[in-house]
Amino acid sequence: MKSINPSNNQLIREYPEHSHAEVEKIIDDVHSAWLKWRSTTFDFRAQLFRKAAQLLRERKETYARMMSQEMGKIIRESYAEIEKCANGCDYYADNAAKLLQDQVIESDASRSLVVFQPLGVILAVMPWNFPFWQVFRFATTALMAGNAAVLKHASNVPGCALAIEEVFRDAGFPVNVFRTLMIPSDMVAPVVVNPKIAAATLTGSEFAGSQVASLAGKLIKKTVLELGGSDAFIILDNADMEKTVKAAVAGRMVNQGQSCIASKRFIVTESRVAEFEEQVLKAMEKLRIGDPLDSQTDVGPLARQDLVNDIHQQVEKSVSMGATLLLGGKPADRPGFYYLPTILSNVKKGMPVYEQETFGPVLSIIKVKNVDEAIAVANDSEFGLGGCVWTTDLQQGEMVARSVNTGAMFVNGLTKSDPRLPFGGVKKSGYGRELADYGIKEFVNIKTIWIA
């Protein structure tokens, strides 16, 4: 496995892959560890997670630089990601026992209750774009619920994958409660099939999700999928344009646009579209492209060359179909996998940037007549992960939020994940939920106990 620095296309380090025999041995070891781990107390698990949070904060510089070097995230976003992981560890250390406490239910029994018991070893197939947070988002709930885990991380962030295992080990978790599998994608299927794998969760592409889910389904194993997104950023007539433009740039450019919940389709009412285009162009022109380790950099590289090729093809095809190029529209003239911040207006149905997920720094503007058309366009997507609406009329904002078919809608705020709130999508964005009380109950046996 090779770790390549996307800012200069240079090899960072090579890592040996696990063989099939080694993978089987790791799964056996994790299952054996789970048989003991499942009986530990919430207080014991919480103590370990608080130690993990402490280690993440102490090693923030090391882990943040590792992320920025392996996948190109700008360094201030890497710092924030490590802190978010630490906060997640603290949240579930403080709240898991309450979220999973027995529920006494009135029935015809003298006593009836619902209890929540761990399923076993969970396979997590995770992506490269948030290489620490995506894993901790899963691991905090799964392990606090009493499960054990094996991680198949994206092949371009092997250093991050091993560093996460290191955090759990150094925090005092039993050695085999959380293990990283250094395997390519074509070795995932045998892991899913392994009888000691109880369930699987995947964050990634539609194709990868469908492959894992179909195989797990044949074996009657539960899955949770968090897949792509084409989030709508709806700007209504009465939006505060200064705040909206600032949020639009932040929402589109987070992680160089490589986020499933990044704002991608900017749906603007016709009375405000000219104003929005003028102001967002000025804001995007000021963004600084550079080394992701430089604290002054606003835009780093994309994670791989194929991602540059894909986003450029989407832009070129959309322009050929009538979209207007206001800014950028091509790879940056510098070493590494950089793509210029890009704005397309006059985007119409049928264009790639309207129909497909755009995983890069491309802001697509769609003009609509009114709020009803804005809702219709927002819903005119195969995806349904998140979205936001910008308006000074909060009642109108809530109406729009209820009307858009996604797993989350934010009014006057950018879509984000928060341990206190459930996270997930509908349609081709997947199913199931992570985080909050809904997420921590995805990988437990919700058992009824009835006593006469």
Mean of pLDDT values over 267-274: 98
Residues 77 and 206 reside in one and the same domain: yes
214 lies in the same domain as 299? no
Q: Are residues 212 and 109 in the same domain?
A: yes
Q: Is residue 366 part of a domain?
A: yes
Indicate if 271 and 391 belong to the same structural domain.
Answer: yes
| Given 85, 89, 160, 260, the catalytic residue | 260
Kindly state whether residues 198 and 283 are assigned to the same domain.
no
Both 222 and 265 in a single domain?
Answer: no
pTM of the model: 0.97
Catalytic status, residue 226: yes
Shared domain for 185 and 51, answered yes or no, is yes
**In this structure, is residue 98 part of a structural domain?**
yes
Give domain status of residue 48, yes or no.
Answer: yes
pLDDT tens profile 362-400 = 999 999 999 999 999 999 999 999 999 999 999 999 999
Mean pLDDT (whole number) for 283-300? 98
- For 31-50, what is each residue's pLDDT tens digit? 999 999 999 999 999 999 99
Let me know whether 289 and 244 are in one domain.
yes
Q: Is residue 186 part of a domain?
A: yes
Domain count, the chain: 2
The answer to whether residue 423 is domain-embedded is no
pLDDT tens, 149-206?
Answer: 999 999 999 999 999 999 999 999 999 999 999 999 999 999 999 999 999 999 999 9
What pLDDT is recorded for position 288?
98
Asked whether residue 257 falls in the same domain as residue 390, the answer is yes
In a domain, 167, yes or no: yes
Reported as a single tens digit per residue, the pLDDT across 98-110 is: 999 999 999 999 9
Q: Are residues 53 and 160 in the same domain?
A: yes
CATH of the domain at 107: 3.40.605.10
Return phi, psi of residue 179, to 5°. Answer: -135, 150
Q: Residue 388: which domain range?
A: 231-411
Task: Please indicate, yes or no, if residue 418 is contained in any of the structural domains.
Answer: no
Check if the beta carbon of residue 226 is closer than 8 Å to that of residue 434.
Answer: yes
Confidence of residue 229 (pLDDT cuts 50, 70, 90): very high
CATH number at residue 386: 3.40.309.10
Mean pLDDT calculated for residue range 3-16: 97
Catalytic residue among 226, 277, 357, 434: 226
Does one domain contain both 210 and 272?
Answer: no
pLDDT of residue 342: 98
User: Does 388 participate in catalysis according to the annotation?
Assistant: no
Same domain, 133 and 281: no
Which pLDDT belongs to residue 353? 98
pLDDT band at 421 (very low <50, low <70, confident <90, very high): very high
Is 263 contained in some domain? yes
Q: Using 50, 70 and 90 to split pLDDT, how confident is the model at 83?
A: very high
The reported pLDDT for the residue numbered 188 is: 98
